[in-house]
Amino acid sequence: MTDLDIKKSTQNDSVKYLSVSETAEQWDISERSVRNYCAEGRIIGAKLEGGIWFIPETAEKPERTNKSIEKKPTLLQILRREDHLRTKGGIYHKIQVELTYNSNHIEGSRLTEDQTRYIYETNTIGALKKYEGIRVDDVVETANHFRCIDYIIENANRRLSEHMIKKLHFILKNGTSDSLEDWFAVGDYKKMPNEVGGQETTAPEDVPAAMKKLLKKYRARKLLDLHDLLAFHYEFEKIHPFQDGNGRVGRLILFKECLRLNIVPFIIDEDLKMFYYRGLKEWPKESGYLTDTCLAAQDKFRQILEYYRIYP
């Protein structure tokens, strides 16, 4: 909403209202602080319209207090609470649908976002005609991906391990047509060579050692940041340890580690898909491509968090 829109929405009020940015500039504080003050009810007369805060021009800046302030819950804590309560329409609900739809979609799933949402909300596929031409595996893997996210939320604070990674693969691929094939190892490393984007990956017999080396190197770092997560993601996808499902498992790992480290998560959507693939391909020569793509995805995710009044 522009400043002009704000003025139009408040021109009939006897009190003149300012935007968050105008108030922040007037008080010489961050916009985030202004929104927090509003959400905490510390600005008398502030009102919320269409997800936008309006602050009376005459409002006084809240006094800082030396009293201990209760620490705000982390995103992981909020997700666990909403998961436990089966909250509808909250951030847990939003992540289940959007992360599942987008991660499956860029791997070729034909389900739409609305169909993904319907499966999540009703645990059914609805009218048969609506799903004509849809592969059964797409439906199964969608339901399985919801369970992967629940597993991550429950185990986010645990150290990343081979067991956890294999468990994610097992949950994702269990019950699919692939799982019926003798050569397809559900929840275990690949038995046959594969490639990704025309590039060779680690040979099946070398995968166990490569994964152990990758995890040892990752866990040896004391202070992990986004760059470390993306470096791990690149190496994981380069190894391509599973016969199928590597991209989705890899992005689930990223989501888990973001929750554990209290880093803003991100979702790779259709708009960022080609930039994401380019970033992975170019990582050894230029890490900035993938980093910039994920930072852009983080900005999108921050907008979702702000809608739910979650300020990491």
Cα angle 229, 301, 51; round to 5: 160
Residue 193 burial (CB count, 10 A): 13
Per-residue pLDDT, averaged over 306-312, amounts to 91
Residue of 33, 245, 39 whose CA lies nearest to 148: 245
- Residues of the chain with pLDDT > 70, as a percent, come to 92
* pLDDT tens digit sequence for 196-248: 988 999 999 999 999 999 999 999 998 999 999 999 999 999 999 999 999 99
Are the C-beta atoms of residues 227 and 261 closer than 8 Å to each other? no
Cα angle 111, 148, 238; round to 5: 85
**Six token digits for residue 296:** 């852009």
Residue of 121, 125, 129 whose CA lies nearest to 140: 125
pLDDT of residue 14: 66
pLDDT band at 32 (very low <50, low <70, confident <90, very high): confident
Calpha distance 244→216 (Å, rounded): 24
**Phi, then psi, of 180 in degrees rounded to 5:** -85, -10
Calpha distance 309→312 (Å, rounded): 10
Per-residue pLDDT, averaged over 250-257, amounts to 98
Per-residue pLDDT, averaged over 249-270, amounts to 97
Classified as helix, coil or strand, 53 is strand
* pLDDT tens digit sequence for 93-118: 999 999 999 999 999 999 999 999 99
Per-residue pLDDT, averaged over 32-54, amounts to 85
Residue 159 burial (CB count, 10 A): 10
Are the C-beta atoms of residues 54 and 47 closer than 8 Å to each other? yes
Task: Give the domains, in start order, of the chain with CATH numbers.
Answer: 3-56 (1.10.10), 75-307 (1.10.3290.10)
Calpha distance 96→250 (Å, rounded): 16
Maximum CA extent, the chain = 75
Using alpha carbons only, how large is the chain's radius of gyration in Å?
23
